[in-house]
Structure 1
Amino acid sequence: MGSTQRPVRIANCSGAEPDPGRHMFNQAKYGHVDVITGDYLAEINLANNAEAYHRGEHTGWIPTCWEGIEMSVELLNEKRIKLVVNGGCLNPKGLAEKTHELCKSKGLDLTVAYVEGDDVLDRVYDILGTSTEEKLPHLDNVNSNVQLAKDTKAFLDDRGSMPIVSANAYLGIRAIRRGLDEGADIVICGRVADASPVIAAAAWWHGWAETDYDKLAGALIAGHLIECSTYTTGANFAGFFTHDIPELLDLGLPIAEVEANGECVITKHEALNGFVNADTVICQLLYELQGTIYLNSDVKADITHIKVEGESKDRVRVSGVRGAPPPSTTKLAVFYKGGYQCELLLNATGYATAKKFALQEAQLRRQLTVWNLYDKFDILDFQWAGRPEPNPSCQLASTTYLRIFAQGKDKAALGKLAPAWATNAMQHFSGFHCTSDHRTAAPKEFLGFYPAVISQSELEESVNIISPKQSNVHKSIVGPPKKSEPIGERISFETENPVDLSSFGETVMAPLGDVALARSGDKGANVNFGVYVHTEAEWDWLRTFMTKTKMQELMGTTWEDWFFIERCEMPDIRAVHFVIYGPLGRGVSSSKILDSLGKGFAEFIRDRFVPIPKKFIGKWESHGSALAKL
């Protein structure tokens, strides 16, 4: 578009496949925006439907994205709003052609384009065979201290029983930007990095150069802040308890006003429900990070000294981001057939629950051993969910369940899990009960996830513009970044100049959440956790108290000795950030734990009792109303 001093208003319309099409329509209808972007893809989306798509049994694109386009396309045309979405999923060409035909049928003056180059499934084994350093390096290989979960790389040597079903690289902004520069109104993408549509829109609007790294980095963080649906307008918010329930219903999605220097203001349409304040923005900022450096295919963003400041109601300024050249590589999400998994859920009530579940575990392990099946289970895990309430007020308050989770390559062996339990069913512990429906006990295939890195020079990233009248396609290959630099090891450190904790005076044992807010999420096999406070005194206490050792201690029996922790700080937002390597095993699609996306981890840590200075206790009584007004 060329240089302009007016900020570009970029509205997000989706953070995951279930987000309905009305969000796209609402973002177009209820106020002025220049561009609408949508992120419909979690890492598992492409793999889940890959085989059906390749058999011709699935369209390959995200249905809710198409729903939004159908609802919104006339309004996009009327208000001249650009649309950039990754809802093309496995078949961006197909969705673009369908959108093009829709526009033609309605007589709309809209040019549709699609981005290709992320899907390398047809070449992945060739790439494996020609790699000179290692077969498909793992994303965490840059850290020599990190251990990978058992069998993480087994599929590399067992292509027969563990074939790859999808392999998609995370593309950057170059093809999207080229399409916008050449007049595309709607750009349909497959697997682009979550923030790439926002960066591309800002770069196009302001006419940034490829080397305007500070500006690009600012837009990268703007994209990170709005790409998760309603996560900055009240959803998944640790401080939600300071708001009334009606404020949290039917939330509108956020908008980023990206300025010419890369700074942004996060806001929303006034007519839509929800709220944007410094706390909702900081919580989202801390989500799914890997430290102070945020990577994209076009820029590195250093957020060490990021600033988040409430300007007025539902307007929060974000500044202080610094940029650097991107890495020469990008992430490659590989999914493969990992084998089979199944589970049983069994209940116990009240007295001596620990002994009851110990008996159940012993019975099942013994029976599988007697049947010579025990060694055919790659994972057999017994998880006690919840703890019975002392002096319970009702039976439900006294009831918890045992989740028995199993994985293995031998379907027949896993199929014996339920019979092994049934063999001893009448030898059950006192008060045993469960549902009579054991459909989850039937083995089903699961997909393993392997986050790899691939050279951007290996990709043929292109934008394909469909002529509005002739319907012929003009293809432009964009190539890798002209300048790059190594990723390098992530920064990890304890606090400088710690404060004597006794100087804060008398303490009381209380949940960490009584003084701090937090957010956590998954990064492959790892969990990230960012925790922050509001005042300088609280910050001195938090940065001193929250060491790597303390983080390990707070994890309790969740911690395993092969895990590894990185720690860093963001002093301008008073945040300590951790990456805990390993808890999610091989990642979301095959993790044995209930919280396979790591979203509940922060709330678990906030619920842990720690010695908090008494003078900090009761802060929500004094901060509650302020939170809602920022």
Structure 2
Amino acid sequence: MGSSNYSTRWTDQRGKRQVRIANCSGFKADPGYHMRYQAELGDVDFITGDYLAEVNIAENAQAHAAGNHPGWEKTAWDGIEQSIDILHEKRIKVVVNGGAHNPKGLAEKIQELVTSKGYNLKVAYVQGDNLYEEMKDIREKGLPPHLDSDNSDVTIADHALDLIEKDDKPIVSANVYLGAREIVRGLEEGADIIIAGRVADASPVIGAAWYWHSWNDTDYDCLAGALIAGHLIECSGYVTGSNFAGFYEYPLDDLYDITFGIAEVERDGTSVITKHDAKNGFVTEDTVKCQFLYELQGNIYLNSDVKAILDDVQVKAEGKNRIRIWGIKGAPPPPTTKLAIFYQAGYQSEIVVNATGYATQEKFDLWERMLKYGLKRLNLLDKFDILEFQRLGVPEPNPRSQLRSTSSCRIFAEASDPNVNLGLASVLSEFGMQHYSGFHCTADLRTAVPRSYISYFPAIYPQSSLTTSINILEPSTSPNALQTRSIRTTPPPKFEELAKRQNYETSNAVEISSFGPTTRARLGDIVLARSGDKGGNANIGFFIPTALPSSYPQSSVIYTEAWDWLRTFLTIPKLKELFGESWSDKFHVERVEFPKIYAVHFVVYGVLGRGVSGSSRLDAFAKGMGDWLRDVVVDVPTKFIDGRQKKAESGRYAAGRQTVLVGHRL
């Protein structure tokens, strides 16, 4: 598709070829130039952007209500402002959720820009996700069901019900996750730029593909394919080299200043994931598999318009930076959608102190005992919602520097009353000169002063109870005035109740001894992984990498055998064993397999507490959980290690170890 075809794409090309959808954001911090990159570096039909993590809207809700914040994400505006000339020239349509708490406000600001440029671009915005008015009196009206309430095996996190059981936890924000129906209607009405608030992360991509191919709302296989295409490109550069478990096999300079992903979605919903040739980054079978496994919740991926059934997913390279994904099946959506409720939960304090070298564990034992003694004397020890003394790192034996000999203790405290946290600060001061030998910290302990925090309650809400619309802005005959044409949208025509989530060990397990002699190696010497959060739950996907060296004899046979080993070895009890001291019987695990991409996937319920900003975990979003578990040493069949390229004492690959087996290549 050359530049001469830009003006005819919507009349002559729509629906006759794949639609090219480029994503420009996966988080509010992604700079506006990523939208401009996607517009100027190659041909695309749509640019989508996902600017909202679960907590974004809540962070700015009160400031917006007080008139101190516009309510929308400033980086989304930055992208539009940088790209508007190219969008007009190339007739590229834009669908983003950067409207956050105030999609109308951002749409009107964009319309002012369009009008000032004299461009014939139509701007629209989505409404219906904001349920704050309905939820703000939740103690009187009742609390919607928890997202995991239908799973009897799951223990809801401590203090998760504080927002209804205590009267000092006011609601800050409440937004449902909308689907693509409003987006599709807006595009049908001629919109060129659509601003949404809390739509599901993949909904802009679904909407673009749905409109382009003129699908029906019951074309579930097609919609499901677009849902997974959106899932793959929604997270900034996660599919083009960022957050990639095998990054160390690539030149480090290839892993920044990258361009983000593009999905070419076919009429049948299958897609090719690619990127512009310009800038850095790469798309491989393994980057696509990593992103596919990110933030899943089993073998069913839910959206307000469709649920995607993932068991038979397949991934295959078609050329450089071109990876096809197919095998996704669709089914009617559930009758409910996710509702993210945030509330003022109380106050947090966080203090990190260091210890060096000899008797480190005893030093931290002394520190914890001393502070708990002081808190108990003040009658405060049992007043905390959470009080944890977390030990970070292990000093290096025979250290080569003081830094290698130093580790930390992180005190994390949450309480409803700030005076409880202030009591912790006073104890720190009281015993300031009664510390262990070599006590030091990296700051002046300002984080000991309590700060308010918001916490998260994930709920479900009936789709049939929503009032949603697409709103088209049209210039008025009056100077500097706009007219809005509001069009109500309707729920999906058919719902399907959710069945109990699948949870199983492997079928036809192979006798582990049949793989021959074993050697002690890190799990990551065999597999790649990706992990992430779903509220208070973490997901972790492990898979046998695709790349095979041509020099390795019978590599395809070894590859299949490695999968047989992984699915047999990586059971639920084995995962609990890998967790070691981090395991709690309060957690619940579900396990499924994706055999055609050689992946085992787990959801660990409850491991992140209340999740998001209320979690006490250092890794509150479970981003590092997969790499931690890959570093655990297990018994690995020697034949899976032999023949790999080995990098001994080679700078970043050795990373202080005697030998690192590099390549995850079988």
Same fold? TM cut 0.5: yes
Does the 8 A contact of 1:111 with 1:468 survive in 2?
A: no
Counterpart among 602, 609, 613 of residue 589 in structure 1: 613
Give the 3 Å change call, closer, same or farther, for CA 618–348 of structure 1 in structure 2: farther
Counterpart of 2:125, as a letter, is: Y
How far did 1:480 drift? 1.2
1:532-575 C-alpha deviation (Å, 9 max, x unpaired): 00421110000000000000000111111110000000000000
Does the 8 A contact of 2:526 with 2:664 survive in 1?
A: no
Counterpart mapping for 1:167-182 below 5 A = 167-182=174-189
How far did 1:4 drift? 2.0
CA distance in 1, matches of 2:420, 2:663: 54
Secondary structure of 1:326's counterpart equals coil
Counterpart of 1:274, as a letter, is: G
1:400 aligns with 2:420: no
CA distance in 2, matches of 1:369, 1:450: 31
Query: Match for residue 123 of structure 1?
Result: 134
CA distance in 1, matches of 2:360, 2:156: 34
How far did 1:126 drift? 6.0
How far did 1:488 drift? 2.1
Query: Match for residue 461 of structure 2?
Result: 454
Secondary structure of 1:427's counterpart equals coil
CA distance in 1, matches of 2:254, 2:527: 22
Counterpart among 345, 353, 364 of residue 346 in structure 1: 353
Query: Match for residue 249 of structure 1?
Result: 256
CA distance in 1, matches of 2:279, 2:368: 51
Runs of 5+ in structure 2 lacking a partner?
Answer: 1-9, 546-558, 648-652, 654-661
Query: Match for residue 434 of structure 1?
Result: 441
Counterpart of 1:602, as a letter, is: G
How far did 1:619 drift? 6.5
Does the 8 A contact of 1:449 with 1:586 survive in 2?
A: yes
Counterpart among 62, 67, 71 of residue 60 in structure 1: 71
Query: Match for residue 45 of structure 1?
Result: 56
CA distance in 1, matches of 2:294, 2:639: 29
Does the 8 A contact of 1:347 with 1:433 survive in 2?
A: yes
1:156 aligns with 2:164: yes
1:414-454 C-alpha deviation (Å, 9 max, x unpaired): 11112212222222112211135111110000111011000
1:524 aligns with 2:548: no
How far did 1:506 drift? 0.9
Does the 8 A contact of 1:305 with 1:320 survive in 2?
A: yes
Counterpart mapping for 1:12-161 below 5 A = 12-125=23-136, 129=140, 135-158=143-166, 160-161=167-168
1:348-381 C-alpha deviation (Å, 9 max, x unpaired): 1111111110111000111100111112111110
Runs of 5+ in structure 1 lacking a partner?
Answer: none
Query: Match for residue 421 of structure 1?
Result: 428
Secondary structure of 2:584's counterpart equals coil
Counterpart of 2:563, as a letter, is: W
1:576 aligns with 2:576: no
How far did 1:410 drift? 1.0
CA distance in 2, matches of 1:620, 1:48: 48
Counterpart mapping for 1:136-535 below 5 A = 136-158=144-166, 160-468=167-475, 470=477, 471-534=482-545, 535=559
Does the 8 A contact of 1:43 with 1:333 survive in 2?
A: yes
How far did 1:461 drift? 1.2
CA distance in 2, matches of 1:504, 1:248: 36
CA distance in 2, matches of 1:491, 1:438: 47
What is the aligned length? 625
- Determine what percentage of the aligned residue pairs are the same residue: 55
Secondary structure of 1:449's counterpart equals strand
Counterpart of 1:367, as a letter, is: G
Give the 3 Å change call, closer, same or farther, for CA 130–457 of structure 1 in structure 2: farther
Does the 8 A contact of 1:275 with 1:628 survive in 2?
A: no
CA distance in 2, matches of 1:584, 1:435: 27
Give the 3 Å change call, closer, same or farther, for CA 126–428 of structure 1 in structure 2: closer
Does the 8 A contact of 2:527 with 2:664 survive in 1?
A: no
Does the 8 A contact of 1:516 with 1:531 survive in 2?
A: yes
Give the 3 Å change call, closer, same or farther, for CA 127–177 of structure 1 in structure 2: farther
CA distance in 1, matches of 2:66, 2:419: 26
How far did 1:479 drift? 1.8
How far did 1:468 drift? 4.5
Of stretches 303-312 and 415-424 in structure 1, the one that deviates more from structure 2 is 415-424
Secondary structure of 2:645's counterpart equals helix
1:7 aligns with 2:18: yes
Counterpart of 1:592, as a letter, is: S
CA distance in 1, matches of 2:190, 2:412: 52
Secondary structure of 1:289's counterpart equals coil
1:568-603 C-alpha deviation (Å, 9 max, x unpaired): 000000000000011111011111011001000000
Give the 3 Å change call, closer, same or farther, for CA 358–622 of structure 1 in structure 2: closer
1:552 aligns with 2:573: no
Of stretches 368-377 and 33-42 in structure 1, the one that deviates more from structure 2 is 368-377
Give the 3 Å change call, closer, same or farther, for CA 314–172 of structure 1 in structure 2: same
Larger relative contact order (Cα-Cα within 8 Å, sequence gap ≥ 6): 1
Counterpart among 614, 617, 620 of residue 641 in structure 2: 617
How far did 1:344 drift? 1.1
Give the 3 Å change call, closer, same or farther, for CA 432–518 of structure 1 in structure 2: same
- TM norm structure 1: 0.97
How far did 1:81 drift? 0.3
Aligned-pair Cα RMSD in Å: 1.8
Secondary structure of 2:408's counterpart equals strand
Counterpart of 1:109, as a letter, is: N
Give the 3 Å change call, closer, same or farther, for CA 374–81 of structure 1 in structure 2: same
CA distance in 1, matches of 2:24, 2:77: 12
How far did 1:157 drift? 2.5
Does the 8 A contact of 1:268 with 1:276 survive in 2?
A: yes
Give the 3 Å change call, closer, same or farther, for CA 436–264 of structure 1 in structure 2: closer
CA distance in 1, matches of 2:141, 2:425: 44
Does the 8 A contact of 1:514 with 1:620 survive in 2?
A: no
Counterpart of 1:350, as a letter, is: G
Counterpart of 2:228, as a letter, is: I
1:119-145 C-alpha deviation (Å, 9 max, x unpaired): 0101114677556xxx31000112100
Counterpart of 1:554, as a letter, is: L
1:328-357 C-alpha deviation (Å, 9 max, x unpaired): 110000000000010111111111111110
Counterpart of 2:581, as a letter, is: T
Secondary structure of 1:416's counterpart equals helix
- TM norm structure 2: 0.92
